[in-house]
Amino acid sequence: MSIHNKNKELIKNFRNALYNFDINLLKKEVTNLFTDDALIQLCYPFETLANPNALIEQAYLPLSKAFVGLERRDTIVMAGSSINDSGWVGCCGYYTGSFEKPWLGIPPTGHQVSMRFHEFYRIKNNKVLEVQAIWDIPEVMMQANVWPLSPSLGKEWHVPGPATQDGLITRPYNNEQAAQSLKLVGDMCEHLGFYAEGGIKAMKLEHFWHPHCSWYGPSTIGTARGVKGFRNWHQIPFLNALPNRVGDASKGYLFADENYVGFTAWPGMSMTISNDGWLGIAPANQQITMRSLDFWRAENNLIRENWVLIDMLDVYNQIGVDVLARMKELTKARYLNFAP
């Protein structure tokens, strides 16, 4: 068995403890799986946690109390090697349950709720050394009807798993196929950087993306269909507002498993909001960094699906906008007595 298959198998019991949420089993698995000084990096407002136990006490336990019957559903589990001889396991899916108690100030709905996650685990010698994870918290706000931000340009919906239903990879690691997928996505990312010199034509989107591709962005941006949809609902506003964006390859980890490619960075980009057009944010030359955790699925050497989560609450926090506080102001009206 390859090291990558072993690493996927290594976190299986941890994932199962979250599928049938069992706090005692979860504590046992975290103790066995994580090093005592593992670097635990979650999205805003959790941020970097002190130790693996804090992952349970500050993240999973409050979530389980709000999402009654908490259940983790993975749609992609892949693994591979990246820079600095690092080995990674990437997981994509969503948490679900009955939203019966407030969470992060978001009012409960009493109905089933879903929240996307992208979680990456760096593993060495059968231990998790590092976690980088984004939960799509704005998605929960939408379901609770307390949306405090500008309308999304793309389609907001329950983002699906892979169309081919093959994201939970357990087959023997295929080095040749992984290398081909990695080259496709790597070349595509490299050409995105050619925009500054040659404009949209230099990016050669049609050369890398399938005509029926789907780009599943985070809540606040939404899903885009095809290259045209990707450009209209994400790329054009993004490039217009953030023309000096710069990626830092030394902070990003790109790896592949069969026809899937994962990318994780904390953060992976820096930029200045110097023009209008992105998310309704005023162009006041705010300098920001961006955490973006991605998955791609290749089909016939073209990108057919791309799952993207950006830590949007962290972006707003950097420019001085407390999204959770604004959301709470919206919910206040539900409980005020307006009788004379």
Mean pLDDT, residues 254-259 taken together: 98
Q: Which residues contact 322 (CB under 8 A, 6 or more apart)?
A: 316
Residue 62 is encoded by which pair of tokens?
A: 């409050």
Percent of the chain with pLDDT over 90: 88
pLDDT in tens, 114-146: 999 999 999 999 999 999 999 999 999 999 999
Other beta carbons within 10 Å of 209: 19
pLDDT of residue 333: 74
Mean pLDDT, residues 228-242 taken together: 94
Residue 254 is encoded by which pair of tokens?
A: 């790109």
The Cα–Cα gap between 195 and 322 comes to: 32
Position 277 confidence tier, pLDDT thresholds 50, 70, 90 = confident
Q: Which ranges of 58-122 does DSSP label H, i.e. alpha helix?
A: 61-66
Q: Which ranges of 89-233 does DSSP label H, i.e. alpha helix?
A: 137-143, 175-192, 195-203, 205-208, 226-230
pLDDT of residue 28: 97
The Cα–Cα gap between 96 and 117 comes to: 11
pLDDT above 60 (res 338): no
| This model's pTM is above 0.85 | yes
Strand partners, 133: 42, 119
Burial of 272 (0-12, 13-18, 19+ CB in 10 A): middle
| Strand, helix or coil for residue 13 | helix
Residue 246 is encoded by which pair of tokens?
A: 């710069």
pLDDT above 80 (res 226): yes
Contact 247, 193 (CB under 8 A): yes
| Strand, helix or coil for residue 284 | coil
Contact 74, 295 (CB under 8 A): no
- Decide the pairing of beta strands 209-216 and 302-310: parallel
Residue 31 is encoded by which pair of tokens?
A: 């103790």
pLDDT of residue 245: 86
Mean pLDDT, residues 146-163 taken together: 97
The Cα–Cα gap between 2 and 267 comes to: 29
The Cα–Cα gap between 270 and 293 comes to: 15
| Strand, helix or coil for residue 169 | coil
The Cα–Cα gap between 230 and 203 comes to: 13
pLDDT of residue 216: 98
Position 249 confidence tier, pLDDT thresholds 50, 70, 90 = low
In eight-state DSSP terms, residue 218 is: P
Average per-residue pLDDT for the chain: 94
pLDDT of residue 106: 96
pLDDT of residue 246: 85
Position 250 confidence tier, pLDDT thresholds 50, 70, 90 = low
pLDDT in tens, 283-306: 999 999 999 999 999 999 999 999
pLDDT in tens, 13-25: 999 999 999 999 9
Mean pLDDT, residues 107-119 taken together: 98
pLDDT above 60 (res 339): no
pLDDT in tens, 39-81: 999 999 999 999 999 999 999 999 999 999 999 999 999 999 9
Other beta carbons within 10 Å of 24: 8
The Cα–Cα gap between 13 and 247 comes to: 35
In eight-state DSSP terms, residue 96 is: E
The Cα–Cα gap between 143 and 107 comes to: 10
Q: Which residues contact 96 (CB under 8 A, 6 or more apart)?
A: 67, 70, 71, 73, 112, 113, 114, 115
pLDDT above 80 (res 334): no
Strand partners, 124: 127
Of the given ranges (34-38, 285-289, 336-340), which has the lowest mean pLDDT?
Answer: 336-340
295-323 burial: b if 16+ Cβ within 10 Å, else e: bbbbeeebbbbbbbbbbbbbbbbbeeeeb
The Cα–Cα gap between 336 and 322 comes to: 22
If phi over 0 gives left and psi between -120 and 50 gives alpha, with beta otherwise, what is residue 85? left
